[in-house]
Amino acid sequence: MKRKRSAFTLIELLVVIAIIAVLIGLLLPAIQKVREAANRMSCTNNLKQLGLAVHNYQSTFNKLPPGYLGPLNDTEAQTTELANTQIQWVGVLVYLLPYMELNAIYNQINQTTTPLDIKTQGDPKVGNWWLDPTKVVGNATNNLTLAHTKIKEFVCPSHDPYSSTPSILFGSHFFITGAPKIDKTAGNGVFWTVDTSSKDPMNAQDIGRTTYVGVAGTWGKGTYTGYGKNDKGAVFDIGQYEGIFTNRSTNSIGAIQDGTSNTLMFGECLGGPNPPPSGSPQFGFSWFGAGALPTLAGLPVQYPYYYQFSSKHTGIVNFVYADGSVRGVKVGSSKWNPIPAPYGEAEKGPPTTDWFVLQQLAGMRDGETRDSTSLEN
């Protein structure tokens, strides 16, 4: 009488394991593609909500919210440091909270210590939301507490801005008013270097962040001369490519002369890392303070600088246009970084055609009609 076999032989078990391994190897790329497609759709929806919020703000106030509340003049932009409490460093996203069903956060903001009126200079006796809470007077600590709120609508799901970020960008950096100056201590770029020990009373490592920032145009309201570190004088005027969101801007939809469907409004930014790649962002952007970025350096091919619009989506960066539509802008050959090392690459020579196309999309009244199909999806 033959006995029934009750188990696999070793060879059969190895074959089954090998087959399962092959199937997993075949399925993983497909699963990753599905996950990325879902993340990109979610990112697109987040940007769509920002676009709708801006239009609702326009309907309420007959103007667009300011890009951010930064320096009051060019001189202050070059000399002010973080301790100057006359600068609010409130970014555009704060103004959009009521139009994104985030009233619970907005209604708690103390607007005496953090004035949201762009004509208000602030009260140096009180201090602003980003100050060390051990050094402020009044209720500014409440605003700092609110700034720690993590808002999922402000973050692309393909990127984790909270992962091992050594520094937090509290305000929009170095480019909106006055001459360009790459200086971490300058008033036109506010940084907070995170100390994860007890010496960090702000608990800045846990500050609420964003991967979406407004488009300031090539250099915001400022100007830029020279192609690189050793070049003198520009052969083109980038001042014409001013964007929608700049320092204390008071634009409206009607001021977008190039057409709302042709003008970028918000885009994605990873915050670095600088090359060589570190595997984590160089900076995290505070949603309460960071408002806008320039497009001067173009879109990065591989490893972005913290001031470049960038994304985890292969080959494209998602933007919402001024008409509320969301489209992926191709990286193409738009990268051109004239900023000297260690913060840039000091590239010499004229920019590429794709670079000019990107600036045309970023500017709101440049009047140019270049063919943008090389970059637009």
Would the pTM count as exceeding 0.85? Answer: no
Provide the pLDDT for residue 254: 93
What is the rounded CA–CA span in Å between residue 240 and residue 224? 11
pLDDT tens-digit readout, 301-346: 888 888 899 999 989 999 999 999 999 999 999 998 877 777 778 7
Q: What number of residues does the chain have?
A: 377
pLDDT confidence of residue 96: 95
Is residue 338 classed exposed, middle or buried when 0-12, 13-18 and 19+ CB atoms within 10 A define those classes?
buried
* 266 touches 153 (CB < 8 A): no
Q: What is the pLDDT of residue 322?
A: 97
Residue 313 lies in a domain: yes
Report phi then psi at 30, rounded to 5: -65, -40
Can you tell me the distance from the alpha carbon of 319 to that of 309, in angstroms, rounded to the nearest whole number? 9
In the chain, the number of structural domains is 1
Instruction: Tell me, yes or no, whether 369 lies in a domain.
Output: no
Residue 157 within any structural domain of the chain:
yes
> Quick check: 60 and 106 in contact, CB under 8 A?
no
pLDDT digits (tens, 9 = 90+) for 191-223: 455 544 556 667 777 889 999 999 999 888 766
Q: What is the pLDDT of residue 187?
A: 32
What is the helix, strand, coil percentage profile of the chain, to 5?
30, 10, 60
In a domain, 23, yes or no: no
Query: Which parts of the chain sit beneath pLDDT 70?
Result: 1-8, 27-34, 72-86, 112-128, 131-141, 164-166, 172-201, 222-237, 274-279
Output the six-digit token pair for 90. 């409130």
Beta partners for 275?
none
* Sign of the four-CA dihedral 36, 37, 40, 41: negative
Domain span at residue 80 reads 31-362
Enter the tokens of residue 302. Answer: 């591989």
The confidence score (pLDDT) of residue 84 equals 53
Task: Specify if 8 maps to a domain.
Answer: no
Instruction: State the pLDDT at residue 236.
Output: 61
> Is residue 3 assigned to a domain?
no
Look at residue 368 and tell me if it is in a domain.
no
Is residue 40 included in any domain, yes or no? yes
Going from the C-alpha of 83 to that of each of 136, 214, 292, the distances in angstroms are: 11, 25, 21
Torsion from C-alpha of 270, 274, 280, 285, nearest 10 degrees: -40
